[in-house]
Structure formats: C-alpha cells, structure tokens
Structure 1
Amino acid sequence: MPHDTPVTVVQADDQQRADYQALALRSYGQPVKDITLLGPHADLRVAMRGGRVIGGGLDLSVPQYFGGRPVPGVSLAAGCIAPEERGEHLWSLLLDKRLEAMKDRGAVLATAWSTSTGYGRRMGWAAGTPVFSWTVPTDELRRSFDDTGFTVTHADTGHGGPWQQELAARWNGPWQRPTWWDAWQQDVHPGLTHYRFALPGRDPDGLLSIDFAEHPGGGRCLMVHDFWAATARAAAAMLSFTGRHNSRIPTAWFQRTALPPAPLLHGLHRAGTATATSWHPWMLRILDAAKAVKLRGWPTDLDLTLPLTISTPARPTTYTLRIHGGHGELAPDSGPGHPVSLTERQFARWYAGGYRSPAAAALDGVDGDITGITRLVAAAGGAEPWLPEYF
C-alpha cells in the first residue's frame, strides 16, 4: 500500500481487533496475551491505511497515585506498528490520537513502559527513575535478614485492597489498582502466590507475591512480583521469608517492578552477591498541566508561590504555581519575572518527584536561579517515583 494513502485512527471493532492481534504476533514474534486479557478493560485504537490495520495499542483508564492522591490517567499497553510501516512517524500520529481520545475521557497524565526513551523524550515524556531487576542467592537472603516476629499468612487473592492502596499512596506512580487487577495477574502468571506479613494483633505491614520459573542465567529461581513493605522490619521479614526457599531454589529474582527505589538490599552480608540488571524505564507525560497540579496531593504545611515558564514544541507558556494547605494551582500568568523555566518533559519528571536535589534538576536542564529551583524541587520531593505495575 503506498505511504501517501491517508491514515486514520479509529476505535477497533471486532474484526479490527482480530486483525490487530495478528499484526501484534507478526510484530512481536509471539502472541500478545494482554490484547485478549485486557480487552474488556481497555480502549483499543488502531491505525488504518487503505482498509488495513497497520498499528494500534491498548489504553487503560487507571488512576495513579501522586502526592498521596489518585490522579486520573491512562496507561498505554501492547502497542506496535507494522514492520513495513515503520520509519514514517506513524507512531507519533497514532499516539497523539490515542491520547486525545483519553484526554477527552478525563485523563490528565499518561504512562508507558518504553524502550524508545529518546523518541519519548522528544515527545515530552520523562523517565522519572532508573529501573532495575535484582538477582540474589536465597542463601544470602536467609543469612542476612531476620523475620523479627512477623506472622506469615498465605492469601487467596492478590494485593489490591485497602492495605496495598495505603502503601501505594506513599509513592508517586503506582496504580490505584482496579477490581480486575488480581484476575488479570493470575491469568498472566498462573503460579502466582500471595503472602501477608503482620505483627500480632495488627494489620499487615508487608505484602508479597511470588512465582517460580527458569532464570535466564540458568537454574530454577523464585520470582518476586509484588513487594510492599510499610517498615524496615516488615521488609526484613519478607526478604528473610524469600530466603527460606534456599533448600530447593538457589536464586531469588526480583522483577523489574518488584523492589521500590530504596536501599533494601544494603543489608546483605556480602554486597557483591546481588546483581542488578538495568531495564527500560516507565515514562510519564502530563496531558493537562493545570489539572494535574490541581488533582495531585501536596504537603499540607507548604506555602509556595512561584512563577514558572513551561516550554512545549509549540511555544513557551508562563504560569504561577501556587501551593497552600495541601492544594495546588497552576494559573496562566503574563507578569514579568519567571525565575524557573522547564520543558514539558522536565515538568513531568518534577511532577513525579524525580528530582531529588536542585543540583539534579539543574543537570537535567531546568533553568533558573538556584533559590527558585530549590523551592520547586522541595514542593514535589515528599515521595519518590515508583511504578510497580508492568503492562
């Protein structure tokens, strides 16, 4: 089909959904189960040229926690472009149409796991934090950590209830998991097993989900999928429990989404026994900056008024950021003096709490006087970015 034939983007009907599954198989080299499993919960948009499906992707309407509050968002999954259509900027057209439709439905931000980080950066997406998986000998976990009096209970269902939501709200990025989360995960990982860790007479302080598989490095391993710990004691108990599998399983493999960005494995007796593998990151894009600031949680003791300039490929726009009493506002402002300037990508990273210091923000290209940058970074620095859901 000639590339000068117009491309349209439509919500898929049943035939187009089947055509997209065939296209995904041809593009990925393997079946993409989530097109079927997530189909009832997602919006599937496909790109059409001359009556043929040449690209598409799933859009999941799922709120995500930022500043302790769930913010309406869309998570992009199972996307691909036909191999013969690549290199023509079709992905940016498809993405714009998908996000336009989800923004009309109330989404103010979007997230995706992406291998194309450079492409994403140019389109205003930001990677808030590096992502690693960890491989640790179970013998070393058993030797290094104690259970410290926790009772371990096998749970019949996955972790998506109020205990998990309370822990998720402490980070920037986790899903407010929908009711279909647990069934979806069990379909994807049929051997997934869940445990709760609690001190006597208390609600759980730890939630753990594990599975077993062949490790890419060789041998049978225990895979950790969900690791939610409220305290250092709970985390130690969960790591100790993982190590108890050492009699039959030599290796624990913490999946790329499992461990939060915290120094949990610094407690190992032999630091060199843990191996980190870098993965492609999750990326964030803000679709409506004013609404994103309004709906996000903010420190109740913060009182901030700061002029900002946020630049998009179209033009820079000036605002005043006001945060008071736990509420935020980003209002247009044509007044003089804007001590801090950001691109839309830098704004997304800041929103996620991705700048841990003014120096880090300045090295990423945030421009302005150091006092303004310091105040801006501190405003969103109460929680760190972490996306435990992989889609």
Structure 2
Amino acid sequence: MSAPLTFHPAGDDDGLWQQYNALATRSFGHRVDDITRLRPHADLHVAIRADTVVAAGLGLLLPQHFGGAPVPSACLGAGCVAPEERGSRLAARLLAERLRPLQDQGAVISTLWTASTAYARHLGWEAPAPVTACSVATDDLKRAPAPPGTEDLDIAHGPTPDTERLQRELARQWNGPLQRPSWWTAWTSARHALTTYRFTPPGQPPTGLLAFAMTPRDQHGMHLAVHDFWAADPSTLHAMLAFLARHDRAATITFQRNVLPPAPLLLHTLHRYRPVLKAWHPWMLRILNPREAIRRRGWPAHPTLSAVIEVESDTGDTGNRYLLHIEAGSGELTPTSREAAVSFTRRQFAVWYAGGYPSTAAAHLAGIRYTCAQTLAALLDSTTGHQPWLPDHF
C-alpha cells in the first residue's frame, strides 16, 4: 500500500526547496533557474509522499490590469509532478492547494502559462487570445519608412525609474499585463541577460523601452531576441524598429512570444511583409471570485449598463444568476432570481472578462447562450475597449 499524500507550504524549509529544484529538473529535463531567483518573492506548495516531494509549484500574488485597473491575481508558475505520480489527478489537487493561500491574500482571478491547455481548461481556465512569436528579416526592418520626428529621439542605455513608470502607464491600456513589482526588472534582466535602452524626446520623459538578448551564432553573427517592446507613440515605435535594424550582425530579429502588442505594427511597417510566426502555448485565465473580480476591474465611464447574466458554478452544475450593473466606471454583480439574458460557462466568463470576444459573431461561435442579441453586444462592448495581451512570463 502506497504511503499517504500530504500537502504543505514550503516556507523557508531549505530541504523542501532543494527537493523541488531536483524534481523540476527531472520533470522538465533541464534546470529551472527561476526557482532560485523567485524564492524571495513566491509561495511554494509541495505534495509529499514518504518524506519525498512528488509535486510542487510556485505562486505569485501580482495585480493584472483589466479595464485600466489592477486586479489581484494568483499567478502560477513552474508546476511539476513526478513522472511516476502522473495520471492520478495530483496536478489538480496541487493547483487547489497552491490557489488557497493566494485567495486568502486577496486574489480574485488566476493566470498561468501552460502547454497543457486541455487540462487547465477542464479546471476552469481559458485562453483569451492566441500567442505568437515573430521573426523578421533585419533588412526588412532597415528599409522600413520612418515618420517625421523619429530622428529627434535620444537613445540611451539602461532602465530608469522613468522607464518603469512608462511601462506601467502603457500596461494599463491592455487587459492582462502585470503591474510589475519592484524586483521584476532585475529578475528578468538576470534571467535573460538583457540589454535595455530607453527612447526619449528632448526635454521630455521617455516614450520607449526596449530590452533584448544577444547570443553568438555557431560560425559568425548573432541571434537577437526582443523581450520587452513598449512604445508610447508611432514615432517612438519606428525609432525602436530602426534601432533594432542597426544590429545587422543578426540576420533576423526575433520578437519573443507575446512581446509585440496585438496591433498591426509590422503589417503597416515592414518594407516586405514576410515575417515568420510561431504559435506558442497561451496564457490562461480563471475567475476565482466573480463578484470581487467585477468590482475590482475597470469599466467604461459611459454608457450605463444593467443586464442579468448567468455564470456556471465551479462544480459545473447550475449557474449563478447575477444582475451586472456598470455605471461611471464601476461594476457590480448582485445575485438575482431573474431570467438571464446571457449565460456564460466559467471559461467563457473569463474570456469575456479579458475582452477576448471582439464581436457578437465571435461570441456566438464560442457557444455563448443568449436570449437578447442587443444585451450580448452591450456586454461585449463593456470589455473590448482594452484588448487581451500578457507580455509578462512567470
């Protein structure tokens, strides 16, 4: 008979952290250096059988921007289960244990990056948008036309408090980016050996932030991979692309997964539109507390909206009916027994929350049930003012 399974927070137990590190190496097939780097900032929960860590994962309580407001999120990363323990739903039990302390600390939503999309979907997470990486010929960037004013920008090496403020301001314009904590820049710079540049109009605060990694190729030249790309206006955008094109020892410029915002930047910029796109596994969102998630989110100032919606319960049984009221930039869910005009599964609710249904046609194809098309359209309009985009990886 196998030994019983128990779950524990690791706290400052060096032995549990070391076992987790060894388990992650065995599970992923390579060392996960982030475990050491994130230890001061993350919660670690472990599953133990016979005094041995057989499953574990990190959790970070970080705000994510939705509708321009920071929403407390349980960000889960580096989860692993020993190969000999797989197939027994241990991952699902561990996820519940990892979420509990973060919910106790105020998390009302949860986000993770995962290649196991079907498994996460079964547990209530859903992907609001596709994720891609993009490679562009450096010559195509070099020949891209630049608008007037691009040449006036000053380019300087290194991040500053001003560039961190710029990134936070631009992140609020999308649904999903993290409100990066103070340790984020140092962590990602060490993680990827990043070189950072700031772009500044004369006498003004920075309007652009660019960070990339360079690695040598086998024979000659180099690989250049962009990890941060934040531009406040078209002139800065073109100046950043032109600056990348100066690094012509790299035959191609690679924009890592989800680095570029979901806008037709390259489509409207390149001399020849021939980028190579690579699909990546997506980020996935789950609403842990619908009422608080609605209250904490940002909403349009106009117009006022009242609609009865139904949201599937966590058990997948009968849904919970609410009156959703949005007015003057605030939203509220109130339980009601009235008939729902729009019914969401919990996964559909997460995608709607993130602005992932750009049209009623998209919502219809996703299987959202509704009795009033006008109400559905108004609901979609309330979240699609900001597009879903998560450029942060954890």
Q: TM-score, normalised by structure 2?
A: 0.94
Alignment partners' CA distance in 1, 2:216 and 2:124: 38
Counterpart of 2:9 in structure 1: which amino acid?
A: Q
Matched, 1:283 2:278: no
Alignment equivalent of 1:352, drawn from 351, 354, 374: 354
Tell me how far apart the structure 1 counterparts of residues 42 and 335 of structure 2 sit (CA, whole Å). Answer: 34
Q: Classify the secondary structure of the residue corresponding to 1:161.
A: helix
Q: Name the structure 1 match of 2:86.
A: 86
| Structure 1 residue runs without a partner (length 5+) | none
**What's the CA shift for 1:56?**
0.7
Match of 1:310 in 2: 311
Please point out which of 1, 7, 19 is paired with 1:9: 7
**Which of residues 369, 375, 380 in structure 2 aligns to 1:372?**
375
Judge conservation of contact 2:64–2:176 (CA < 8 Å) in 1: yes
Rounded Cα–Cα distance in structure 2 between residues aligned with 1:35 and 1:314 = 38
Does 2:95 correspond to 1:113?
no
- Report deviation, 1:314: 3.7
- Contact 2:162–2:206 under 8 Å retained in 1: no
Q: Write out per-residue CA displacement over residues 247-272 of structure 1, whole angstroms, 9 at most, x where no aligned residue.
A: x2211010003111111111212112
Tell me what 2:226 maps to.
224
RMSD in angstroms over aligned alpha carbons?
1.7
Give runs of aligned pairs for residues 1-391 of structure 1, distance below 5 A. Answer: 2=2, 5-12=3-10, 13-146=13-146, 147-156=150-159, 161-190=164-193, 192-213=194-215, 220-246=222-248, 248-266=249-267, 267-272=269-274, 274-312=275-313, 313-335=316-338, 337-368=339-370, 369-391=372-394
| Percent identity for Structure 1 against Structure 2 | 47
- Amino acid of the residue matched to residue 363 of structure 2? A
Per-residue CA deviations over 1:84-105 (Å, capped at 9, x if unaligned) read 0111111111101111221111
The amino acid across from 1:381 in the alignment is T
The list of structure 1 runs, each at least 4 consecutive aligned residues, that deviate by more than 3 angstroms after superposition, is: 156-160
User: What is the letter of the counterpart of residue 4 of structure 2?
Assistant: P
The alpha-carbon distance between structure 1 residues 35 and 159, as it changes in their structure 2 partners (threshold 3 A), is: farther
Cα 1:214–1:9 shift into 2, 3 Å: farther
Letter in 2 for 1:8: T
CA positional deviation for 1:188: 0.7
Cα distance change of structure 1 residues 359 and 170 upon mapping to structure 2, 3 Å threshold: same
Q: 1:138 to 1:296 in 2, by over 3 A?
A: same
The one-letter amino acid of 2:229's match is F
Q: 1:338 is paired with a residue of what secondary structure? A: coil
C-alpha separation in 2, matches of 1:334 and 1:386: 35
1:158: Cα distance to partner?
8.6
Question: Is the CA contact (8 Å cut-off) linking 2:163 and 2:206 kept in structure 1?
Answer: no
Change (3 A) 1:315 1:50: farther
Unaligned runs of 5+ in 2: none
CA apart distance, 1:150:
2.1
Separation in structure 2 between the aligned mates of residue 176 and residue 269 of structure 1, nearest angstrom:
35
Q: Give SS of 2:56's match.
A: strand
SS of 1:300 mapped into structure 2: coil
Kept after mapping to 2: 8 A contact 1:160/1:182: no
Check the 8 A contact 1:158/1:209 in 2, yes or no. no
Whether the 8 Å CA contact 2:57–2:76 is kept in 1: the answer is: yes
Q: Distance in 1 between matches of 2:281 and 2:73?
A: 21
**How much does 1:219 deviate?**
6.2
Secondary structure, aligned partner of 2:143 = helix
Name the amino acid aligned to 1:262. A
SS of residue paired to 1:252:
strand
Instruction: Identify the range of structure 1 (139-148 vs 253-262) with the bigger mean alpha-carbon deviation.
Output: 139-148
Cα pair distance change 1:253/1:214, threshold 3 Å: farther
Deviation at 1:148, TM superposition (A): 4.7
Residues 32-90 of structure 1: CA distance to partner in whole angstroms, max 9, x if unpaired?
11111000100000011232211010001111111111111121111100000111111
> SS in structure 2 opposite 1:346?
helix
Partners of 1:89 and 1:214 lie apart in 2 by 43
Cα distance change on mapping 1:86 and 1:250 into 2, 3 Å? same
Alpha-carbon distance, 1:6 to partner: 3.1
